Structure 1
Amino acid sequence: MSHIKVAVRVRPLNAREIDSLAKMVVEVNKDTISITNPRLDGNTGQSDVVDSRERVKSFVFDYAYLSTEREATNYASQSQIFQDAGHEVLEAAFDGYNACIFAYGQTGSGKTYTMMGNGEEEAGLTPRILQGLFSRVKEAQDHPECSISCRVDVSYMEIYNEKVRDLLRPSIPKRGQGNERFTLKIYPGT
């Protein structure tokens, strides 16, 4: 793993969006995400748009996934996300590097589903990486000529409303007992 890679995953419309007759304005083509401004898509009767660049904006990423319709040929499954992003993190860890997956997005954007999944068939990155990690550790230790020892340190953190929470230790010890909750403050210009 030589550098930071950025992946974007497009989720299906949720029930609230469907009820409000929202329309999908995001398209995925290989590593490119294109977003159409619904106010300037040609269906509103606005003819004063001169610059077509304002109608569609495109962005290129290391990975771009469309996970809106399972039947679609380009549907990105949990398995595919793991093969592209999770497998590389797992390999980096076994090569002795610290590895991190940072899921970012607004509430309801699909971070938890991508990271944790839903059941065994739709397992997310976290259970797949951990399963691969511990399988490889056991495989190495079961090998007759193996003389290595392994130590696995894992953190699973959430930053929400400027509060950092350890998701592997949901209860917070009383003050003075260590591992206290701390607040993250971001100051512009620093």
Structure 2
Amino acid sequence: CRIRPVSRAEAAQGGAIVVEKIDEYSVTVETPRGPREFQFDKVFSAEASQEDLFHDTSRKCVSHRLIQLAIDGYNVCVFAYGQTGSGKTFTMVGDKEQKNPGIIPRAFNAMFDIMRKNNSKFTYMLELYNDRLQDLFASQAGERNRKGVVFAQGAETKEASSAQELYALFQQACANRHISATSEQTPSTSL
């Protein structure tokens, strides 16, 4: 769980933080009925940096293990969950100038570190949105077999020889993402 700080616009309108980190694993949320407590595997305060977030997972070998598994051909997913404006895209992608890169560009760098050691390469990029798999470099949707396994038939192959080239492909693919606003009751997902 990552607590997002109040934005400038929210602060100007008198907005306040309603989520408080209790410890490494718990938060309280102010609700109309009083505070509610929630538990997570890890809690990051509003002051946590992008680097803190990535390095915490790296120290536990989660990100590098997931990247190695993806390179080895296993299905890997990082799931970002929350309402529109909750900070999913910033956590995953970072800012536009990449002064504060998120998990994805940092994972690209780690991926190329691993690939340099193993002589592997990246091939395609897919998005799962509302239970539909889409190749972000083409317009064809993936199909499911009888066991529910997703196959992206006709997925377009793109090669990148550096993390920077991969990030440029990522930005190209993001232009084809499906993005929609959500109500407070409906969660949304992001890359």
**TM-score strictly above 0.5:** yes
Matched, 1:129 2:107: yes
Cα distance change, pair 114–15 in 1 and its aligned pair in 2 (3 A): same
- Sequence identity, in percent? 28
Q: 2:14 aligns with which of 15, 21, 34?
A: 21
Which amino acid in the other structure matches residue 105 of structure 1? G
| 2:91 matched residue in structure 1 | 114
| Structure 1, unaligned runs of 5 or more | 1-7, 40-53, 68-74, 142-149, 184-190
CA RMSD of the aligned region, Å?
A: 3.1
Which amino acid in the other structure matches residue 130 of structure 1? F
CA shift for structure 1 position 21? 1.0
Find the residue that maps to 2:52 and give its secondary structure: helix
| 1:31 matched residue in structure 2 | 25
Find the residue that maps to 2:109 and give its secondary structure: helix
| 2:41 matched residue in structure 1 | 62
CA contact (8 A) 1:35 1:57 kept: yes
TM-score w.r.t. length of structure 2: 0.59
Cα distance change, pair 167–124 in 1 and its aligned pair in 2 (3 A): farther
Which amino acid in the other structure matches residue 100 of structure 2? E
CA contact (8 A) 1:34 1:58 kept: yes
Size of the aligned set, in residue pairs, is: 138
CA shift for structure 1 position 163? 8.2
Cα distance change, pair 115–154 in 1 and its aligned pair in 2 (3 A): farther
TM-score w.r.t. length of structure 1: 0.59
**Structure with higher RCO (Cα < 8 A, 6+ apart):** 2
CA shift for structure 1 position 32? 0.7
Which amino acid in the other structure matches residue 139 of structure 1? K
Deviations 1:39-64 (A, max 9, x none): 5xxxxxxxxxxxxxx52211110011
Deviations 1:61-93 (A, max 9, x none): 0011112xxxxxxx2110111123365132134
CA contact (8 A) 2:115 2:121 kept: no
Rg larger for: 1
| 1:47 matched residue in structure 2 | none
